[in-house]
Amino acid sequence: MSKPIVAIVGRPNVGKSTLFNYIGKKRVSIVEDTPGVTRDRIYMDAEWLGRQFTMIDTGGIEFETNDKILTAMRHQAQLAIDEADAILFMVDGKTGITSSDHEVAAVLRNTRKPVLLVANKIDTIKNVHETYEFYNLGLGEPIPISAANALNIGDMLDALVACLPEEQTDQTENDEIKVAVIGRPNVGKSSLVNAIIGEERVIVSDIPGTTRDAIDTHFTKDGQYFVLIDTAGMRRKAKIAMPVERYSVIRSLRAVDRADVVLMVIDAIDGVTEQDKKIAGYAHEAGKGNIIVVNKWDLVEKDSKTSLRFTETIRHELGFLQYSPVLFASALTKQRVQRVSELIKYVADQHSMRVATSVLNQVIEDATAVNPPPSDRGKRLKIYYTTQPDVKPPTFVFFVNEPEIMHFSYLRYLENKLRESFGFEGTPLKLVVRGRK
Ligand code: GDP
Ligand code: GDP
């Protein structure tokens, strides 16, 4: 299932990130509160009235341009039009209309995608009349909100989910491993894809996938079915116009949404970029399997410690992807290209692995015997029972006496024990704590 994407567009300082953070705060829980992942995020999974969607703050996307604000805003608006399912255009209700608001509105009026005009910083009801001037933008009725004071945001979200497209289900099926190949332009994604499927039988290609603009490539290898998601333009490549490449961020998030396993391609010369970190964080939180491929390894002068040092640097920079295998490859010389598809299969298996309840409980019992659970005000946490209700990613539920006593560091300890015992290489784990008296 691919979630609809809502892009927030607007001048700097209108309050985009304030709204973003407010909506995001509502879903923080002990399991998801992973330090280092949430900082500086550009995307966020949200849910309102049972509809799930992904929100993107286009203000946080780095465009490959040093241009001034207006150009950056035009890029944002165009990006939203090209890639999002709905657009939330935010203006500053205090400052009133500016010339760049007019410019952006002109761009947004030319799309058929739903646009919601939101006037922020309407901090009290008596200021609502100040929003009327925004009718002049020609985008319908402005919705007054105050992101900082959490006013009228429920009504705004009502209006937002009402204009989202119907949910769509993927028709591709189960024994097929879905792979998203992501990474900055020019790291060698297309070359790698071509090298992987080069000698294999491509079953269907260039057939529009379920997401309107995605093109999937299906192939088999050693009896296993694979689909490479959103390889639109990838195999043909080179003639792709630059502007399309700039927009690859949202496209990548969409591909990640639909994938089981994400292949993060990193350039051996350039290393990990900020954009890589953001997308890797998204993949981690979305619970996807993950493999890091350091491509163009042929260009690196190596000694016996080079790959070790490189691995350490990557693990340091992508702190939350400690579980990902790192593979050094070259699409050009085909070094370890064969290994890539083997690893995809391996990680997909880990990602959907179920462990027997008896063994699981034995492992947790041993872990708590070695290192007792935390206590608080004389009360000690007790884990009664553990189950694994789900896979993709493997999800564990701990039934305990007092969920509040559970501590992040202790969950981390339990996660490490699960990994020591069962592997789970290349997959995040989801740990849930439930109270049971
Ligand atoms: P962004 O650049 O669009 O992401 O804007 P920010 O979210 O960083 O907000 C810019 C400034 O506007 C900050 O100082 C916020 O505290 C302030 N701000 C955001 N929302 C409101 C609001 O509803 N009312 C008022 N008075 N100030 C706000
Ligand atoms: P994409 O934009 O990520 O799809 O990257 P491409 O596959 O188009 O590759 C970008 C450039 O890097 C092309 O000139 C490729 O020939 C080159 N390239 C790709 N993989 C390798 C590699 O493993 N080694 C070297 N030396 N060059 C590579």
Task: Please tell me whether residues 235 and 282 are part of one structural domain.
Answer: yes
297 Cα nearest atom in ligand 2: 23
Q: Where does residue 400 rank: exposed (0-12), middle (13-18), buried (19+ CB within 10 A)?
A: buried
Same domain, 48 and 186: no
In a domain, 152, yes or no: yes
In short, whether 296's Cβ falls inside 6 Å of ligand 2 is yes
Residue 373 is given by DSSP the state: P
Per-residue pLDDT, averaged over 245-259, amounts to 76
Query: Same structural domain for residues 335 and 189?
Result: yes
Give percent of the chain with pLDDT exceeding 70: 82
What is the tens place of the pLDDT at every residue in 310-339?
Answer: 999 999 999 888 999 999 999 999 999 999
299 domain residue, yes or no: yes
Counting from 1 in the atom list of ligand 1, the atom nearest the Cα of 18 is 7
**What pLDDT, on the 0 to 100 scale, is given for residue 401?**
93
Ligand 2 pocket, residue 237 CB under 6 Å: yes
Vertex 235: Cα angle to 229 and 241 (nearest 5): 100
Q: Is the pLDDT of residue 20 over 80?
A: yes
Spacing, Cα 186 to ligand 2 middle (Å): 6
Element (H, E) at 3: none
Average model confidence (pLDDT) for the chain?
Answer: 83
How many domains is the chain partitioned into structurally?
A: 3
Q: Are residues 200 and 338 in the same domain?
A: yes
Cβ neighbour number for residue 427 with a 10 Å cutoff: 27
Residue 338's domain comprises 177-351
Task: Please check whether residues 346 and 372 belong to one and the same domain.
Answer: no
Same domain? 336 vs 188: yes
Query: Residue 235 has what pLDDT?
Result: 47
* Same domain for 131 and 30: yes
> Which of 319, 351, 383 delimits the end of a domain?
351
DSSP tally for the chain: helices H, then strands E: 12, 18
How many angstroms does the Cα of residue 269 sit away from the middle of ligand 2? 12
| pTM of the predicted model as reported, rounded to 2 decimal places | 0.70
Flag whether 97 is in a domain.
yes
Q: Is 229 in the pocket of ligand 2 (CB under 6 A)?
A: no
What's the pLDDT band for 204 if we cut at 50, 70, 90?
very low
Task: Give the residue with greater pLDDT, 370 vs 321.
Answer: 370
Any domain includes 72:
yes
Give yes or no: residues 224 and 367 share one domain.
Answer: no
Bridging pattern class, strands 5-10 and 51-57 = parallel
347/362 same-domain check: no
248 shares its domain with 346: yes
Question: What ipTM, to 2 d.p.?
Answer: 0.69
Nearest CA to ligand 1 atom 7: 15
Q: Are residues 369 and 405 in the same domain?
A: yes
If we measure between CA atoms, which residue out of 9, 24, 14 comes closest to residue 57?
A: 9
* Helix residue ranges, H only, 109-267: 153-162, 189-197, 242-246, 248-258
Domain boundary among 138, 163, 188: 163
Is 61 annotated in a binding site? The answer is: yes
| pLDDT of 38 | 36
CA-proximal residue: ligand 1, atom 19 (nearest): 15
Identify the weakest region by mean pLDDT among 42-51, 258-267, 304-313, 321-330: 42-51
Kindly give, in sequence order, each residue whose CB lies less than 8 Å from that of residue 186, ignoring residues fewer than 6 positions away. Answer: 267
Q: Which ligand is nearest to the CA of 21?
A: 1
376/334 same-domain check: no
CATH assignment of the domain containing 74 = 3.40.50.300
> What whole-number percentage of the chain has pLDDT above 90?
50
**pLDDT-based confidence at residue 129 (cuts at 50, 70, 90):** confident
Residue where a domain terminates, one of 130, 163, 196: 163
Q: Is 171 part of any domain? A: no
Structure tokens at 346: 């391996």
Is the predicted pLDDT of residue 42 greater than 50, yes or no?
yes
